[in-house]
Amino acid sequence: MSIQTAPATSAAIVHVDPNALILEANVRSDVELDAEFVASIRDYGVLVPVLVHQVEEGLRVRAGQRRTLGAIAAGRETIPALIVEGDDGEARRLIEQWSENHHRRALSTGDEADAFQQLALLGLSASQIARRTHAKKERVTAALKVGSSKVARAAAEQYAITLDQAAVIAEFEDDAEVVEALTIAAVDEPETFAHVAQRARDDRAQEVARAALVEDLTAKGLTVVDGRVDLTELYDLAGGDGRGMSTEEHETCPARAAFVTTNWKGELAVVYGCTSPDENGHTRRWGSAPLTEEEEEAAKEEKRAERRHVIETNAAWRSAETVRREWLTAFAKRKSAPANATAFVVSALTNAATVGTLDDSTRERGNALARSFLGITEVEGRYASGAAFKGVVEKVSGQRAQMIALVVILAAIEESTSVQTWRSPSLCVAAYFTALRSWGYHLSEVEAQMIPADDGV
- pLDDT, tens digit only, all 457 positions of the chain: 344 444 444 457 889 999 999 887 654 545 678 787 888 888 888 888 888 888 888 898 888 888 999 999 999 999 998 887 765 555 455 445 545 554 455 667 888 888 888 888 888 888 888 888 788 889 999 999 998 899 999 999 888 899 999 999 999 999 999 999 999 999 999 999 999 999 999 999 999 999 999 999 999 999 999 888 889 999 889 888 778 899 999 999 999 999 999 887 788 999 999 999 989 999 888 765 555 667 667 767 777 788 888 889 999 999 999 999 999 999 999 999 998 999 999 998 988 878 888 877 777 777 889 999 999 876 555 555 667 777 788 888 999 999 999 999 999 999 999 999 999 888 999 999 999 999 999 999 999 999 987 554 4
Q: What is the pTM of this model?
A: 0.66
Question: pLDDT value at position 381?
Answer: 56
The β-bridge relationship of strands 232-233 and 79-83 is: unpaired
**Structural domains of the chain sorted by starting position, each given as residue range(s) with its CATH number in brackets:** 13-86 (3.90.1530.30), 89-202 (1.10.10.2830), 203-306 (no CATH), 317-449 (no CATH)
pLDDT given for residue 380 in this prediction: 59
In sequence order, the β-bridge partners of residue 98 are: none
Which residues contact residue 360 at a Cβ distance below 8 angstroms, ignoring those fewer than 6 apart?
Answer: 412, 415, 416
| Distance separating alpha carbons of residues 431 and 348, to the nearest angstrom | 9
Q: Quick one: pLDDT at residue 219?
A: 96
What pLDDT, on a 0 to 100 scale, did the predictor assign at position 6?
41
Q: Judge contact between 430 and 455, C-beta under 8 A.
A: yes
The confidence score (pLDDT) of residue 410 equals: 96
The CA R_g of the chain, rounded to the nearest whole Å, is 32
Complete DSSP assignment for 316-345:
HHHHHHHHHHHHHHHHTT-SS--TTHHHHH
Distance CA 191, CA 184 (A): 11
* The predicted structure's pLDDT at residue 304: 76
d(CA 24, CA 93): 10
- Spatial separation of the C-alpha atoms in residues 168 and 157, rounded to whole Å: 15
Reading across the β-sheet that carries 50-55, which strands appear in turn?
Answer: 12-16, 79-83, 50-55, 58-63
What is the maximal distance between C-alpha atoms in the chain?
108
